[in-house]
Amino acid sequence: MSQMSPASEKSRTSQMSRSGQKDRTALLDVRGLTTRFATERGPVTAVDGISFAMEPGEIIGIVGESGCGKSVMSQSIIRLLDYTDHVSYEGEVWLSGEELLRLSPSRMRKVRGNRVSMVFQDPLTSLDPLYPIGDQIAESLRQHRRLSRKEAQARALELLRMTGIPSPEQRIKEYPHQLSGGMQQRVMIAIALACEPQLLIADEPTTALDVTIQAQILELIVELNRRLGMGVLFITHDLGVVSEICTSVKVMYLGQIVEEMTTARLFANPLHPYTQGLIRSIPRLDGDRRRKLHVIEGTVPSLADRPEGCKFVTRCPYADAKCRSEEPPLETAEEGHRLKCWYYREIRSGAREATQYGE
Amino acid sequence: MVENIHDQSQLDRLGQLGRKLRREQRLLSCFRLRTNYDLLIGAAVLGALIVLAFIGPLLSPYDPLEMKVLDRLKPPSAAHWLGTDEFGRDLLTRVLHGARLSLGIGITVTLLTSLLGLIIGVYAAFYKPLDHILMRICDGLIAFPGILLAIALMATLGASASNVIIALTIVFTPSIARTIRSTALVVREQPYIEAIRAQGATNARIIWLHIAPNALSPLLVQAAFVFAEAILSEAALSFLGAGIPAPAPSWGNILQASKSVISKAWWMVTFPGIALVLSVLSLNMLGDGLRDFLDPRSKRKGKGSRRVRRVAP
Amino acid sequence: MANEPEARKPLLEVKALSKKFPVYGSFGRLFGAKQYVHAVTDVSFTLYEGETYGLVGESGSGKSTTGRTILGLTPVTSGEVRYRGQDLAKLPPKQLRKLRRELQMVFQDPYSSLNPRKRIGRILEEALVIHRIDDRQRRQQAVFRILQIVGLQPEHYFRYPHEFSGGQRQRLGLARALILQPRIVVCDEPVSALDVSIQSQILNMLRELQGELGLTLLFITHDISVVRYISDRIGIMYLGRIVEEAPTDALFANPQHPYTKALFSAVPRISERGLKERTVLKGEIPSPLSPPSGCVFHTRCPLATDRCRSEAPAWRETKPQHHTACHYA
């Protein structure tokens, strides 16, 4: 990564200063985002009134199990679901002063891949097998930046070099299947970065990769984030990854953010029972391996039958009648630490004991 | 950690539950059947044709082979509902007898090709060396246009109803075998097949209890189309004079005879033609309907499956 | 769960196991194999009665192939798999099928390893039918019992696989392996497809059942935290070879092989802020079509010397019970 050409170094600096001017307004401001799908069983709410803001240069981790709506949320932000049937959005998504949910489809296309880019979990299926990777990187440059074929190829080469692919001059002519998983993911990142986006949405970008390769990719993302000053929305189920690269974390459950805080607090002082359970159920390299692992009883309910009241009520060891009937608000427990739970104070002080399943 | 579930009342309760679930499932199938119009109409028309084919000739006062020169080429009338042919034979009687022949040949060919195709396809998919041999033979047979191959086979075998069945079976088996093989190849690589093998199952068990049932639904669909094609091909062979020998009343034979009198007797070409079109159409609808009915995805999405899930405690 | 060394009885011994897959050229089998994929090369280890042996490696390290070869699901190229005085690799198919009763497997993908067209009862009963155990009613009872053991309801007997969640399906996979009361269960990435909260349920259950039923487990995974939790001893695989083997605590306290060290350091750790200083391995696993000469790890090893490039390191005991294949460990 150190072998960056001087030319690209310059373009980076200009990008930095550009995003630097916008520091006063948030890079991304999501207000009450709700995504519903119409199904034969009636509307299903996949994302339920999510609000958060993100400053340039931040890496925000979105954590949750499968079915908690984290992917749908990220896809809603850049309206990738427009092409799915029966989807409806509510709320507002402001990207540096522009509201995305009300943009016309053609204006939206100018945002996607240009100001906001996305990296997906499975790099092989996200790349078109018919074209050499160089062409695929060049494509968005030609579309959004109106570069000539030659300029675009030159820039593609530069991007490949930046992502740390060895001998990029040869690789640029290769097809996706000729590359290994880690290399493919680097290509995906190169494509995502082609137009110097303000925001990168990474949806489980390292889940399909081996740990040693994952380490390389994480290092790359963090380095690019620091150098380019772009915001990264990092979606993952791996709390270890979050703790290494994210500045703050949002824990999602059944379409809602149930707790949000800085990464340091996530592990030191999680307050929501779901977050606590999640953290304790992971086998840890430094934990006592002779003890039983903590278990969150039951499974995530399907989106079609979300419980009334608190969404975690079906699996929560502390739940009572109030939790079943009334949904707790997103409360501020401390500066920068908010959560949805009626009893977090009591749980923290030990006044409230796990009733049903606790150890 | 294990409670006592060996007592009889528990087992009885579970047995009852099993019966109840099976009943639910039957209801659900009925429900899905009721909304599958392709399947219903196809089956109804085909059923009516088959019933007509078997009871029709018994009710008819005429002999399909007896010639009455005086009644030549009479248009439809009260005595001869569909008119008569060039030898004065009652056309309705001949078409009904023809239905027996044509549908009979169709059914036999379908059963034979399905059975052979299933065996060949499944074994080819399971044993690599066999695959090469069987599939090259199939490729060779498929390379001929079907009707030409059938004519060539009929020329060597000699014209008779049973030879028509043999020839058409040889013509249609390769494509069925190929369909089955491609499905079976996919099934063979499924982890659940390996899981069964890991439990110590024999190859025969894997092939017949696990791969074959999973290849059955494409077979059923394909079989309906083979049925239709067999009827058409039999008609074509007879029309070309390479099928069932002349006096026997197959639809193809009647159509062939109508060729020379088409300007004088429209009924001779129309009514057997309608019979042919009706049976082929109904079979095609049946095939499409079956495809929808057997598709496991529709099973999961269907409204009924939710009901079953809710019934189970 | 941990076994005292003197009480250990070898149950299954794998000796110099190798597995090569032929790669054919454009003319198919006509001119023989063009190349070989060296999936497993000269792997030896011993499973002791009642222990859990973890086999760890990244994708392409040959860990799954090792498991499948031991069970005879794919034929052995060379080497021995000794179980109760017999070499499984040379056993005729009929006798191997009988022995399958005692050697079972749990698969990674709980979705596709259950036949979608069969009811759960039928799926679980099948193993008993194959081995002609019990009559119909007794078999049904056995299924009810095993369903309870893995934490499911007897009512599930009548359901189809698609009606279950991922975690429940993995319980079913486990039930299917356990219904024959095997002595050895090979678990191939049994929790990799599951969410963390479900993963901990399955891991706890596996450990409990192992104690209760006296099982010996071969646990294959790429997840280092999981393998540390479940295993008594661990073998680290790289490019078809075991490069290090030790009891779990010793291995984590003091990894010897440079690959093991890099692997452990690559695991993202909870409760550490920021990217930690780690030995990030450069490059990727070389192609198993043409493994490197000498030590297979030398292309990525930060400590590699000329000796590593030319001479394959011997398998030696660097500490009691701790084996490593590295010149400089």
- Distance of residue B24 Cα from the nearest chain C Cα, in angstroms: 12
CA dist., res. A6 & res. A4, Å (int): 6
| A304-to-A44, C1, C40 alpha-carbon distances in Å | 6, 42, 46
Burial class (CB in 10 A: 0-12, 13-18, 19+), B137: middle
Check CB contact of C178 with chain B, cutoff 8 Å: no
Over residues A90-137, the pLDDT tens digits come to: 999 999 888 999 888 888 888 888 899 988 888 778 888 889 999 998
Of all residues in chain A, what percent carry a pLDDT higher than 70? 91
Sort residue B209 into left (φ over 0), alpha (ψ -120 to 50) or beta: alpha
The answer to whether the Cβ–Cβ distance between C203 and A293 falls below 8 Å is yes
Q: Are C9 and C48 in contact (CB under 8 A)?
A: yes
Q: Give CA–CA dist C327/C329, Å, rounded.
A: 6
CB of C321 closer than 8 Å to CB of C256: no
Residue C141, chain B, CB below 8 Å: the answer is yes
List domains and CATH numbers for chain C. 5-110+184-191+212-324 (3.40.50.300)
Choose the closest CB to A66 out of C168, C195, C207. C195
Res A269: pLDDT: 87
Q: Rounded to a whole number, what is the distance in Å from the CA of B128 to chain C's nearest CA? A: 11
The answer to whether the CB of B159 falls within 8 A of the CB of B248 is no
Quote the CA–CA distance of A39 and A41 in Å, as a whole number.
5
Closest in B6, B196, B199 to C141, CB measured: B6
User: What are the phi and psi torsion angles at B306 (to 5°)?
Assistant: -65, -40
Residue B8's pLDDT is: 66
DSSP assignment letter at B90: B
Q: How far apart are CA A159 and CA A174, in angstroms?
A: 15
pLDDT at C232: 94
Collect all residues with Cβ–Cβ distance below 8 Å to A123 and sequence separation of at least 6: A176, A181, A184, A185, A187, A188, A208
What is the b/e burial string over C13-50, where b = at least 16 CB atoms within 10 angstroms of the residue's CB?
ebeebbbbbeeeeeeeeeeeeeeebbbbbbbbbbbbbb
> Range with the lowest mean pLDDT among A306-315, B39-48, B149-158, B293-302?
B293-302
Pick C162's closest partner by Cβ from B190, B214, B300: B300
**Cβ contact (<8 Å) for B201 and C130?**
yes
- In this structure, what token pair is assigned to residue B13? 């309760």
Return the number of other C-beta atoms located less than 10 Å from residue C55's C-beta. Answer: 28
Query: Nearest CA of chain C to the CA of B197: how many Å?
Result: 7
Which C residues, 268 through 307, put their C-beta within 8 Å of a C-beta on chain B? none
Task: Tell me the pLDDT band of A31, cut-offs 50, 70 and 90.
Answer: very high
Which candidate, A4, A125, A3, A216, places its Cα nearest to that of C285?
A216
Q: Which amino acid is at C58?
A: E
How far apart CA A29 and CA C102 sit, in angstroms, is 59
C101 touches chain A (CB under 8 A): no
Helix pair C166-178, C196-213: axis angle to 10 deg:
20
Q: Which of C119, C126, C192 to mutate to test the interface with B (most CBs of B within 10 A)?
A: C126
Mean pLDDT, chain A, rounded, equals 84
With tokens 């779990």, the residue in question is C248
| Mean pLDDT computed over C231-253 | 94
Residues of chain A contacting B303 with CB distance shorter than 8 Å: 40
- Helix axis angle for B37-59 and B266-294, nearest 10°, is 140
Mean pLDDT score across all residues of chain C: 87
Please tell me the predicted confidence (pLDDT) of residue B272: 87
Say whether residue C279 is in contact with chain A using an 8 A CB cutoff.
Answer: no
Distance CA C315, CA C322 (A): 10
Tell me, what's the pLDDT at B57?
Answer: 79
In this prediction, residues B242-251 reach a mean pLDDT of 83
Longest dimension (CA), chain C: 67
Give CA C287 to chain center in angstroms.
21
Residue type for position C327? H
In this complex, how many residue pairs, one in chain B and one in chain C, have their CB atoms less than 8 Å apart?
90
CA-to-CA distance for A55 and B150, rounded, in angstroms?
76
Q: How far apart are CA A261 and CA B219, in angstroms?
A: 58
The confidence score (pLDDT) of residue A288 equals: 82
Q: Which residue of A has its CA nearest to C195?
A: A65
Q: What is the pLDDT of residue B299?
A: 45
Taking Cα atoms as reference points, which of B133, B138, B67, B59 lies closest to residue B96? Answer: B59
Q: What is the pLDDT of residues C25-58, one digit of tens each?
A: 666 666 777 788 889 999 999 999 999 999 999 8
Return d(Cα C130, Cα B217) in angstroms, integer: 26
Torsion, Cα C3 C6 C11 C12, to 10 degrees, reads 90
> Which residues in chain C have Cβ-Cβ distances shorter than 8 Å to B10?
154
Name the residue among B300, B281, B294 with its Cα closest to residue B46: B281
pLDDT attached to residue A261: 92
CB contact under 8 A, C268 and A214: yes
The pair of structure tokens assigned to A217 is 């990719």
Q: What angle do CA B205, C105, C55 make, to 5 degrees?
A: 150
- Binned at pLDDT 50, 70 and 90, residue A179 comes out as confident
Q: How far is A97 from chain C (nearest CA, A)?
A: 31
- Half-sphere exposure of C268 toward its Cβ, with a 13 Å CA cutoff? 26
Judged against a pLDDT cut of 70, whether residue C4 lies above it is answered with no
Q: What is the C-alpha to C-alpha distance for residues B192 and B196, in angstroms, rounded to an integer?
A: 6
Interface of B with A in 248-307 (CB under 8 A): 301, 303, 306
Taken in order of first residue, the domains within chain B and their CATH numbers are: 37-295 (1.10.3720.10)
* pLDDT of the residue at C182: 93
Contacts of residue C197 in chain A, CB cutoff 8 Å?
65, 277-278, 281, 295-296
Non-local (6+) Cβ contacts of B240 within 8 A are B151, B256
The Cα C114–Cα B214 span in angstroms is 13
Return all residues near A169 (Cβ < 8 A) that are at least 6 apart: A157
Structure tokens belonging to residue C201: 């349920």
pLDDT for the residue C26:
64
Q: What pLDDT does C271 receive?
A: 60
Give the per-residue pLDDT at B176: 93
Q: What is the pLDDT of residue A15?
A: 39
In this prediction, residue A353 carries a pLDDT of: 76
Q: Compute chain B's Rg from CA coordinates.
A: 25
Residue pLDDT, tens place only, A50-92: 999 999 889 999 998 888 888 899 989 988 888 776 888 999 9
Residue A17 is predicted with a pLDDT of 38
Chain B residues with beta carbon closer than 8 angstroms to that of C145: 2, 5
A289-337 tens-digit pLDDT: 888 888 888 888 888 888 989 999 998 989 888 999 999 999 999 888 9
The secondary structure element, H or E, covering residue C119 is: none
Separation of alpha carbons B203 and B225, rounded Å: 31
| DSSP state for residue C165 in the 8-state scheme | -
Phi, psi dihedral angles at B84 (to 5 degrees): -130, 165
pLDDT, one tens digit per residue, over C141-191 is 889 889 988 888 888 888 888 888 888 899 999 999 999 999 999 999 998
User: Helix or strand or coil: residue C240?
Assistant: coil
Interface of C with A in 200-259 (CB under 8 A): 200-201, 203-204, 207, 222, 224-226, 228-229, 248, 252
List pLDDT tens digits, range B194-221.
888 888 888 999 999 889 988 888 888 8
What pLDDT score was predicted for residue C277?
63
What is the band of C276 on the pLDDT scale with cuts at 50, 70, 90? low
* Closest partner CB to C71 (pick from B21, B191, B198): B198
- Check whether A200 has a pLDDT greater than 90: yes
Digit-coded pLDDT (tens) for B76-108: 888 888 888 888 888 888 888 888 888 899 999
Task: Report pTM.
Answer: 0.80
Instruction: Identify the bridge partners of residue C220 per DSSP, sorted by sequence position.
Output: C55, C188
Q: Cβ contact (<8 Å) for A215 and C266?
A: yes
Choose among B280, B256, B227: nearest CA to B105.
Answer: B227
Alpha helices by DSSP H, listed for C23-119, are 63-70, 93-99
Cα(A225)–Cα(A58) distance, integer angstroms: 8
pLDDT value of residue C67: 93
Chain B positions touching A39 (Cβ under 8 A) are none
pLDDT of C275 > 70? The answer is no
Could you tell me which chains touch chain C, where touching means 3 or more CB pairs under 8 A? A, B
A9, two tokens: 């170094």
Contact C40/B at CB under 8 A: no
Residue A281 is nearest to which of C196, C280, C283, comparing CB atoms?
Answer: C196
How far apart are the C-alpha atoms of C206 and A108, rounded to whole Å?
A: 50
* Contact (CB, 8 A) for A216 and A243: no
- Alpha carbons B242 and B235: distance in angstroms, whole number: 10
Q: Is residue C160 within 8 Å of C124, Cβ to Cβ? A: no
In the block, tokens 């499924």 appear at B190
Closest CB from C96, C126, C137 relative to B199: C126
Contacts of C228 (CB under 8 A, 6+ apart): A283, A285, A289, C54, C234, C248, C252
Helix (H) or strand (E) holding A93: strand A87-95
